[in-house]
Structure 1
Amino acid sequence: MSDKPVPARPTVDLRSFTPARVALGRSGASLPTKPLLDFTLAHARARDAVHAAFDAPGLVAGVRALGLGASEVASRAADRSDYLRRPDLGRQLDAGSAAALADGATAPCQLAIVIGDGLSAAAVHAHAVALLQSLLPLLREGDAVAIGHVVVASGARVALGDEIGAILGARMVLMLIGERPGLSAPDSLGAYLTFAPKPGLTDAARNCVSNIHRAGLSYREAALKLVWLVREGLAREVTGVALKDESADRAPRRIGSALPE
């Protein structure tokens, strides 16, 4: 063994590997001024993301520009305060939206897409349409996945997609939703997939691709994972704990383009 001492690696090196707040230093018993101000700014941005107004009409226009039909719905949460205090209301459509969605439903589809504000409207505004631009061409390759029209939902929790998918007769629902803001990423988008959606399902029935933002998972990377999960989930007729992401190791099975009768 060598007798040479192993050079110490200063804690400050950790900053090159993580956006987490490490090696901030100290001033007496407190943080230095700059790290404290940075933290305060990040916290303010996270709070702003939670309370930001949701531009549903703008998203509908963006989706239609991609060649898809789109409509708006709302949950039973009457306002943002209601939404934050009562998560259960964000999991249910209001009566008018449920009726309008049922009246407008056409033929069943393989995949319904829902865009919900969630806990960060900023994330949805920044990334939802751009992610769809990367995802749609992949879903249309080979055995094209039959996509229904897109639903833009205000006051939405993840499980709201289950009720929407059931009303539309979709075999699978993809929910794009703003994730809970963090101090390093107030605009992170999450994508949740659920096979055979219906009210009452738990998160064990879903697959999630998360941390989609400029400093996280790219649109292309997220789209590749999602298209694998969509195709493999439709082929196996399952999502959630029974479906593991093996997109890096194998191609998805063929699913065929016909819907079951």
Structure 2
Amino acid sequence: MTEQFWDALRSSTRSRIGLGRVGNGLPTKAELEFRAAHAAARDAVHDELDVTALTGRLTALWLGDPVVVTSRAGDRTEYLRRPDLGREPAQALDLPAHGDDLAVVLADGLSARAVEAHAVPFLEALLGVISISVAVPVIATQARVALGDHIGAALGVRAVLVLIGERPGLSVNDSLGVYLTYAPRPGRHDAERNCVSNIHQPDGLRYADAARVVAGLLSASFALGESGVRVKDRSGAVGQADARVLDVP
């Protein structure tokens, strides 16, 4: 096949296609690009979150001074080896509970660079399409999604959103995921959450589109009194998100 044919296909995907071969191996250029992408993914997993810079950007949103918490994982190595420790706070949480509707947790997860690049712009877009009270933002380090259950319970909110760096791949190493849990409390299961993933501009889900999906899910979740498998995004098209409750017998 001609190179023009592969160029046309490459314009619609970030997958590695039509790489060619030299004998039984890949061309040198393709091999080096693969190794560079693999190295970038590994670096993304091990990078530490710049809490100071993130705190400054959050303060500009006028949600209150951000609170910083950490998990029981003592360092990045332990965090990667012991996912269970990343789901629990390092100590009892003393957070300002004012009966707000929503808590927002910015968690490093498996890609701190995703949170640094996309969490605040997404949050700005979300604040523009919701009209509910939002608690003081929380920055969580060495964190897994379930740490948000502890934080949401301590804040006494109706729901919590965890904005977290997703596992890096060979095409994207800065993808952001947003997890919604209604009535957060320790012990919640993954089936009781909703997730909007692959948020990263310009190649992934755009901030405005993701914000509309999350806002719709929040609306449906508040109406139903739960989150998870019974709450679905029924829009069928990004950019026109309108969550609907899926009735299950």
TM over 0.5: yes
- Alignment correspondent of 1:150: 137
Within 5 Å, which residues of 2 pair with 1:116-135?
Answer: 116-135=107-126
| Aligned pair partner of 1:159 in 136, 139, 146 | 146
Cα shift at 1:235: 1.3
Which residue does the alignment assign to 2:60? Answer: 65
Residue 222 of structure 2 corresponds to which residue in structure 1? 234
Q: How do residues 1-261 of structure 1 correspond to structure 2 at under 5 angstroms?
A: 13-69=8-64, 70-95=66-91, 98-101=92-95, 105-139=96-130, 144-214=131-201, 215-247=203-235, 248=237, 251=242
Aligned-residue CA RMSD (Å)? 1.7
- Aligned equivalent of 2:247: none
Q: CA deviation digits over 1:167-217, x for unaligned, max 9?
A: 111110000000000111000000000011111111111111100012100
Contact kept? 2:114, 2:175, Cα under 8 Å: yes
Q: Distance in 1 between matches of 2:72 and 2:15?
A: 36
Structure 1 counterpart of 2:148, which letter?
A: G
Deviation at 1:10, TM superposition (A): 5.5
Structure 2 unaligned segments of length 5 or more: list them: 245-249
How high is the sequence identity, in percent, across the aligned residues?
Answer: 53
Q: How much does 1:145 deviate?
A: 0.9
Structure 1 alignment gaps of length 5 or more: 1-8, 254-261
Secondary structure of 2:123's partner?
helix
Normalized per residue, the structure richer in helix is: 1
2:7, 2:123 → 1: CA distance?
A: 39
Q: TM-score, normalised by structure 2?
A: 0.90
Q: Secondary structure at the match of 2:106?
A: strand
CA distance in 2, matches of 1:54, 1:150: 16
- 2:233·2:243 contact (CA, 8 Å) conserved in 1? no
Residue-by-residue CA offset, 1:28-73 (whole Å, 9 max, x unaligned): 0000011111101111110111111211122122111011121100
Cα drift, residue 251 of structure 1: 4.8
SS, match of residue 99 in structure 1: coil
Report the AA paired with residue 82 of structure 2: R
Cα offset, 1:250, TM superposition: 7.2
TM-score normalised over the length of structure 1: 0.86
Verify the 8 A CA contact 1:111 1:145 in the aligned structure 2.
yes
Q: Report how far residue 163 of structure 1 moved.
A: 0.9
Corresponding residue SS for 1:94: coil
> Using a 3 Å threshold, how does the CA distance of structure 1 residues 252 and 146 change in structure 2: closer, same or farther?
farther
Secondary structure in 2 aligned to 1:208? strand
* Bigger Rg, structure 1 or 2: 1
Cα distance, 1:252 vs structure 2: 6.2
